């Protein structure tokens, strides 16, 4: 396994991040334990979760599974760089009129403590805002996060689903307060969704954030069996038909390379210098083990050019991409 610094921080994380969203609803606890143990054995030290993972009626379930895994001991907690998120309504937090989605200082404090209880730990390495809250000032947000950091409960703060200008505003206010600010941005990025190349990726690089792409396989459309799966879900089928020509060309290119589609798609994301670690979200141990080869794949310039032809992105950062 290879490792990179997380943004401008001195924290080293594996170049693959284990996503845990399927743990509970799709992956039984014993299988989740096995995947996490295998991840550690493979050198993956970066685990990502969120307080809401577990399903609409069992929010927090995934964090609970990870907490029980930690309690098995064997240095499991000490070996993991743990990332979780806050923003959405947890349903059972009894927040009254302050329930719902958001990032008030009140909510951050309460929901952080809830995550600690479920994860059965006393600290979190990377605490991430799951979405931007346009109703809360950066003075309030940084005030809340500074308390967590000064208390030793959180080491670093990250964002997720932020626009480029949100990142710029956050870092400017953090600098004004003499605070480290954001060290990472978790963002949707894959061969079928390259919009972040306009502003989010350049802003992150310039301002010291490592990018952690979520859904690097576009919900499975860039997986090895995508073209064989028809009628599984209506929304998925519609997207498959929309991109069928591209996916067929992509599949043919992968056969030429002698690699599976999902591995090439992940390797492409990882090849971007703005990216620290794509999130892999396996449902099974077999899916996880298949992902491990990604860090060994190097895509040459000719292959990258062919991928650009199949999946054309904006071509340039903003404003050049659309201004001239």
Report how far residue 211's alpha carbon sits from residue 184's, in angstroms, rounded to the nearest whole number: 6
Report how far residue 42's alpha carbon sits from residue 239's, in angstroms, rounded to the nearest whole number: 34
Helices (H) and strands (E) counted in the chain, each on its own, are: 13, 10
Report how far residue 70's alpha carbon sits from residue 120's, in angstroms, rounded to the nearest whole number: 7
The tokens 């990377």 sit on which residue? 126
Judging by DSSP bridges, how do beta strands 124-129 and 279-280 pair with one another?
Answer: unpaired
For residue 206 the two structure tokens come to 């310039």
Residue 127: C-alpha distances to residues 63, 228, 287 (Å): 13, 38, 27
Is 53 among the residues known to form the active site? yes
For residue 102 the two structure tokens come to 């958001």
Find how far residue 43's CA is from the centre of its chain: 18
Q: Which of 3, 5, 53, 87 is catalytic?
A: 53
Angle value at C-alpha 283, between 280 and 288, nearest 5 degrees: 50
The helix/strand/coil state of 184 is strand
As annotated, the active-site residues are 53
């Amino acid at each position: 396994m290879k490792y990179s610094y997380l943004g401008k921080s001195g924290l080293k994380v594996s170049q693959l991040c284990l996503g845990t969203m399927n743990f509970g609803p799709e992956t039984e606890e014993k299988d989740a334990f096995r995947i996490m143990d295998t991840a550690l054995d493979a050198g993956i030290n970066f685990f990502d979760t969120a307080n809401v993972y577990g399903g609409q009626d069992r929010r927090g379930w995934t964090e609970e599974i990870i907490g029980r895994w930690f309690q098995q001991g064997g240095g499991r907690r000490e070996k993991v760089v743990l990332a979780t998120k806050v923003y959405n309504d947890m349903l059972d937090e009894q927040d009254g009129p302050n329930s719902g989605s958001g990032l008030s200082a009140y909510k951050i404090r309460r929901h952080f403590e809830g995550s600690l209880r479920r994860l059965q730990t006393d600290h979190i390495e990377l605490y991430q805002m799951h979405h931007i809250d346009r109703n809360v000032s950066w003075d309030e947000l940084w005030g809340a996060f500074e308390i967590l950091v000064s208390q030793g409960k959180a080491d670093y703060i990250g964002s997720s689903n932020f626009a480029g200008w949100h990142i710029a505003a956050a870092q400017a206010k953090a600098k004004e307060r003499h605070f480290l600010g954001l060290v990472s941005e978790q963002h949707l990025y894959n061969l079928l969704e390259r919009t972040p190349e306009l502003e989010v990726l350049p802003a992150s690089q310039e301002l010291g954030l490592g990018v952690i792409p979520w859904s690097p396989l576009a919900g499975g459309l860039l997986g090895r069996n995508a073209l064989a799966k028809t009628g599984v879900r209506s929304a998925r089928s519609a997207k498959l038909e929309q991109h069928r020509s591209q996916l067929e060309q992509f599949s043919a290119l992968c056969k030429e390379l002698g690699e599976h589609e999902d591995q090439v798609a992940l390797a492409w994301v990882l090849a971007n210098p703005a990216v620290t670690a794509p999130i892999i979200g396996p449902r099974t141990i077999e899916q996880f083990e298949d992902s491990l080869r990604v860090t060994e794949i190097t895509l040459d310039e000719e292959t990258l050019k062919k991928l650009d032809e199949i999946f054309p992105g904006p071509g340039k950062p903003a404003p050049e991409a659309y201004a001239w």
